[in-house]
Amino acid sequence: MGNVWIQVLRADAKRIFKDPFMLLVTTYLPIMALAMRWLVPMLSEAVKKQVHLPTYYPMIAMILCFILPHVFGLVLGLQMLGEKDENSLIAISVTPFSFRRYFFFQSAIFSGMGMILLIFSFFAMGLVSIPLWKLLLLTPVFGLNAPLGTLVLASVARNQVEGFAVMKGSGFLFLAPMLSFFVPQHWDLLLGIFPYFWPIKGVYLAVSGGSTLYFLATLAIGIVMQIVLIKFLYDRFVRTVY
């Protein structure tokens, strides 16, 4: 079984490094985050008479850092759709490896890569200060965005062509909850129907120094909500495979 895990890892690495689109998707955000370390303060200084840009630093961190597990999930979703088109997933399901193991192993790998790059990008950008213990709690909650993003894409789209269209629209699931930054306190909870709202709310509380209990509660709700949706969408995706 150990050799199978290694073969899957090698296949993933080859697929990402050989595909220019996948390579771009998985590298451009960390590179942008590193560039923003110098560009954003320069821009902030240039426009300080018109707008107080540091107010929007948490949103910039969201777009360039905390969205990374979701992006990796979309990449895996496209990969799964391609494998479904080739009937590879059906072939995997009749092996001792099983489709369930394959899916959750792949999800763990892509989620792990997303979380590692999230932390790297956050510190590389250096625009927002979050206590380390809170960042370490936030990261795995955002890590669940990877399998959730994978399943949103793979369970809705029927093939890779449709997958690209769904991928473009799926950004709404992450960006819509960011409206909470502009909504009066407590009214923002109306956005709680979006599963990504709760970890995003956690970032807001971590940055603003909000209640620790409230911070932990948002993470707990985010974990439960995402796990429930992952289970529902996984069952839906399995039905489309067979």
Taking CA atoms, 75 is separated from 12, 192, 214, in Å, by 11, 26, 33
pLDDT of residue 159: 85
In tens, the pLDDT along 11-55 reads 666 666 666 766 776 777 788 888 888 888 888 888 888 888 888
pLDDT at 32 (0 to 100): 81
**pLDDT above 90 for 162:** no
The residue among 31 and 145 whose pLDDT is bigger is 145
Least confident of 18-22, 123-127, 150-154: 18-22
Place 93 in a pLDDT band, splitting at 50, 70 and 90: confident
Number of domains in the chain: 1
Domain of residue 37, residue span: 2-241
Query: 67 in helix, strand or coil?
Result: coil
The residue-averaged pLDDT of 155-170 equals 85
Do residues 53 and 84 lie in contact, with contact meaning Cβ atoms separated by under 8 Å?
no
Where do runs of H (alpha helix) occur along 47-183? 57-61, 68-85, 88-93, 99-125, 132-143, 145-156, 160-175
Q: How confident is the model at residue 166 (pLDDT cuts 50, 70, 90)?
A: confident
Q: What was the pLDDT predicted at 115?
A: 93
What is the C-alpha to C-alpha distance for residues 133 and 140, in angstroms, rounded to an integer? 12
